[in-house]
Amino acid sequence: MSAAIEMRDHRLPPEQVPETVVEILPAAERARISARIRELLGQQGAVVVAHYYTDPDLQRLADETAGHVSDSLDMARFGHDSPARTLVVCGVRFMGETAKILNPEKRVLMPTLEAECSLDLGCPAAEFSAFCDQQPDRTVVVYANTSAAVKARADWMVTSSSAVEVVSFLRDRGEKILWAPDRYLGDYIQQQTGADMLLWQGACVVHEEFKGLELAELRAKHPGAKVLVHPESPASVIRQADVVASTTGIIRAARELDADTFIVATDNGIFYKLQQAVPGKTLIEAPTAGRSATCKSCAHCPWMAMNTLTRLQRTLETGANEILLDPAVIERAQRPIKRLLNFAGERRRTIYGAGDA
Ligand code: SF4
């Protein structure tokens, strides 16, 4: 049962959402910069760890230079296991922070520190902490898409693939949940578990734009298509899903399901890896009401798009954009993350690689 406590809307106002600007370079220039990045990575003993939503050039570079492309927790896991001294995280800031929290001894760089996330921005640590203080009887469970400071205030961190299982476990222990920051994912978890959850009212500006009515029309045009949906999407979209899953789960479902056509409701950056995973199958973007006034990111995260080849080269040349965190915050933020990892270990299953955003 959701508690009837008034919660203010923590979605980011449109004016605070940047335009999605994709770097377009001639092929020769891309090749020149990529070659220079390879050289710098080798000189510095660094690896690129990229998220599925980033530019295909960055994902290709990561793949071809012994780096890694995945979801955020798996990115952090890779960073931990890698012998590299420097991790260059291509993604958004909370991913760089998570990599640092799990690998405090390593240097963690990012192409830009301005790559934020609407979920992270919509959950300021001081306000969140004060709200938690008002709900002392609730277990604080936060999504991976939060700042280090918010994780430091939490009892548990979960990913989209582990959230239902963790919340079910807590419900069975009689615990009531304070969930943050994504209201759609929180609503989905509440529906799945029946747990008593108080939901912070944040949202992802990309997934919130997927539209239920237009999706129904698209499905009617492609009756054989399976619908793969990330649970940060609105309930009207989730209701039509054949599979609700994390980014890694969406790629796995496309591989395993017996269908030739998939309609995919998540950031279209994932299509680079999806096409590699299921060559020959037809992949269609779920509708975001088109490139209209109401659609600012149009299925591509404006902050992910800030990760460009040019910025990556500059970062490696200057050492700029290092993730630096207070050691006390690192220590506190490790606790909710390690709880999740221990939980997964106790159940003899791997959360790593079955990630989140
Ligand atoms: S796609 Fe959404 S959840 Fe992911 S980084 Fe962008 S704003 Fe955040």
Answer yes or no: is the C-beta of 268 below 6 A from any ligand 1 atom. no
Average pLDDT over residues 68-88: 90
Distance 55 CA to ligand 1 centre (A): 14
Each residue of 264-296: b (16+ CB within 10 Å) or e? bbbbbbbbbbbeebbeebebbbbbbeeeeeebb
Q: Of 153, 145, 20, which Cα lies nearest the Cα of 75?
A: 145
Answer yes or no: is the C-beta of 270 below 6 A from any ligand 1 atom. no
- pLDDT interval class at 290 (50, 70, 90): low
**Residue with CA at minimum distance from ligand 1 atom 1:** 301
Q: What is the pLDDT of residue 2?
A: 45
Select from 92, 98, 160, 268 the residue to mutate for testing ligand 1; criterion: most ligand atoms less than 8 Å from CB.
Answer: 92
Select from 73, 207, 295 the residue to mutate for testing ligand 1; criterion: most ligand atoms less than 8 Å from CB.
Answer: 207
Distance 43 CA to ligand 1 centre (A): 32
pLDDT at 127 over 60: yes
Answer yes or no: is the C-beta of 301 below 6 A from any ligand 1 atom. yes
User: Are 197 and 190 contacting, i.e. CB atoms less than 8 angstroms apart?
Assistant: yes
Select from 51, 75, 121, 205 the residue to mutate for testing ligand 1; criterion: most ligand atoms less than 8 Å from CB.
Answer: 205
Name the percent of the chain in helix, strand, coil, to the closest 5.
Answer: 45, 15, 40
Select from 117, 147, 264 the residue to mutate for testing ligand 1; criterion: most ligand atoms less than 8 Å from CB.
Answer: 117
**Residue with CA at minimum distance from ligand 1 atom 8:** 117
pTM as predicted: 0.93
pLDDT at 125 over 90: yes
Q: What is the pLDDT of residue 153?
A: 98
pLDDT at 292 over 50: no
- pLDDT interval class at 39 (50, 70, 90): very high
- pLDDT interval class at 298 (50, 70, 90): confident
Answer yes or no: is the C-beta of 267 below 6 A from any ligand 1 atom. yes
Specify the ligand 1 atom closest to the Cα of 91. Answer: 5
pLDDT at 59 over 60: yes
Kindly list the distances between the CA atom of residue 127 and the CA atoms of 2, 143, 200, 278, in Å, as whole numbers in the listed order.
Answer: 21, 17, 11, 44
Answer yes or no: is the C-beta of 95 below 6 A from any ligand 1 atom. no
Specify the ligand 1 atom closest to the Cα of 204. Answer: 2
Tens digits of residue pLDDT in 242-267: 999 999 999 999 999 999 999 999 99
Average pLDDT over residues 135-155: 98
Q: Where are the alpha helices (DSSP H) in 136-265?
A: 148-153, 163-172, 183-193, 212-221, 235-238, 247-256
Tens digits of residue pLDDT in 213-248: 999 999 999 999 999 999 999 999 999 999 999 999
Q: Of 288, 247, 297, 291, which Cα lies nearest the Cα of 271?
A: 247
User: Are 312 and 90 contacting, i.e. CB atoms less than 8 angstroms apart?
Assistant: yes
